[in-house]
Every structure is written in C-alpha cells, then in structure tokens.
Amino acid sequence: MSTATATRRTAVETHPSPEAAAVAAADAIESDLRAGRLRTLGVATGSSPSPLYRELARRGLDFSGVSLFALDEYLGLPHGHPQSYREVVAREVAGPLGIPLGAVHLPDGGDPAAYDRLIAAHGGIDRQILGMGRNGHIGFNEPGSPVDSRTRIVDLAASTREANARFFETPDDVPVQSVTQGIGTILDARRIVVLVSGREKAAAVAAAVNGPRTASMPASVLRDHADVTWYLDDDAAALLSTRDVPEVAS
Ligand code: GLP
C-alpha cells in the first residue's frame, strides 16, 4: 500500500516479520550507499532499528565514508554509561558497520543548537532512520512538540520512561530529560526510513499514518515530508486502514 502526491511521497510497506522489514529497509540504504548518496546517516536507538543495523552489518558494506548523527541523547547519565546513546550507537551501529568513532555525532545538552549547525555543515542528513514510541514520539519529541522544533532539551513523558525502564536496573534510573533533534530537524533529512514492529505500536502506527496530522501524534507530521517509507511488520500494521481513521486527540 502506498500513497503519493506531487510533492510528498509516503510509502507504507508491511512485512511478515521485523527481520523481513529490516531487509527491505537495508536494501534502500544499500542502494543509497552504492549510488554515492549516503554521506550522512541519521540513526535512532531503541529496539526497532536493531534488526536493520544487524542486516546492514551482515552485508559487509563499506560505510567507512559515512558520518553518523544520533537522533537524541539522555541527559544526566555518567560518561560511559552503557545505556547512554553515545555508547549504544558505538556498540550497535558504528562498531558493526566499521565507522570510526570520530565520525559519530550526538547532540550535546550544553549547546543543543550547535547540533543543527553541525548537521548543516555536513550538508544535511541524507537518510534518517527512525523508530517510533508507543505514544507516537520520534526521537524524544513527545506529543505536543512543535512541528518546527529544532534540537533542544526536553522532559521525557512518564510513559516513555516506563517503556525505556527495561534498559535500566530500576525505573528510577531512567533519566528524566534528554536532548533531541527537533521535529523540524528530522523533517530536514532528505529521506526518512521508519521502522516499527509489534502489536503494542499498532494503534500509534494507525494514528500516525491514517489519522489527523496533529502535534499530539508527532509521527503524523512525517506526512509533511517529501520522501518517507514506513517499514512495518504485520503486527504493527494490524490496525491500518485508509477508511477506519482512528480518533486522535488534538
Ligand atoms: C526511544 C528513542 C526513540 C525510539 C523510541 C522507540 O526512547 N528515543 O528514538 O524510536 O523510543 O523505541 P523502541 O524501538 O525500543 O520501541
């Protein structure tokens, strides 16, 4: 299933498993890489993109000329904490893809706006990989985030801290703030790949893809972008319908 207009292209692919969705997304990224169109890759953390990173690593492609830009970073974790996104991106993306740590960039809570300037100085993001939270967040842009927001410090929603508690020893260890690319920053990327899997995300997927475009469902704003592809597993796609538009509070 896919929809398109003259200026916007949103494609929605469904696959039998997260791994099959990752193979399809990896094909798109490999094609960019081989065509010389991938100098800067935006990377999300979380469990959704993990199969994609594993698949890209398995292909043994040459990513040595690619710079990585993380979507977000927790604030308040000690340097070197295994759940800091600097460590996660190094361990799950840069290392497996053979990208030197000097080419890995993350936003800095001390000067968030510098991140947008750094991205611009690298010519913008060629391909942004996104996951999506159960409440529709992208990066750490929680519901209500301005659609033109830039990289900034944000408070995490209680539901996001709960969802991410699985990565920490206790729920209280989950940071309360992060620094995240803004929705406007994300929309500046040339192409966007969104990976979502699991039944617990199905309502948010349906709201983002079929529901109203609203700041209360941050991922719904992706339809403003010229080139977005959603790679879903069947569970995440379970509530999608072009007729059955879910209610989204605005
Ligand atoms: C995290 C990250 C997001 C990610 C989302 C979903 O908190 N900040 O970038 O897309 O939440 O995570 P997961 O894929 O683990 O469900």
Residue 223 domain flag: yes
Just list the catalytic residues: 72, 135, 137, 142
Residue 94 domain flag: yes
Domain count within the chain: 1
Residue nearest to atom 5 of ligand 1 (CA): 133
Residue 201 domain flag: yes
Residue 241 domain flag: yes
Q: Atom of ligand 1 at shortest distance to CA of 50?
A: 14
Residue 64 domain flag: yes
pTM of the full structure: 0.93
pLDDT value for 231:
96
| Containing structural domain, residue 32 | 10-249
Q: Which residues of 137-165 are buried (b: 16+ CB within 10 A; e: fewer)?
A: bbbbbbbebebebbbbebebbeebbebbe
Q: Which residues of 75-87 are buried (b: 16+ CB within 10 A; e: fewer)?
A: bebeeebebbbbe
Residue nearest to atom 11 of ligand 1 (CA): 133
Q: Tell me the residue ranges of DSSP E strands in 38-190.
A: 40-43, 67-70, 72-74, 104-105, 127-130, 152-155, 177-180
Residue 3 domain flag: no
pLDDT value for 9:
84
What CATH number did the domain enclosing 20 receive?
3.40.50.1360
Counting as low any pLDDT under 70, the low residues of the chain are 1-7, 242-250
Residue 109 domain flag: yes
How many whole angstroms from 163 Cα to the centroid of ligand 1? 9
How many whole angstroms from 139 Cα to the centroid of ligand 1? 7
Report the half-sphere exposure of 137 (CA within 13 A, side-chain side).
28
Residue 1 domain flag: no
44 lines ligand 1 (CB under 6 A): yes
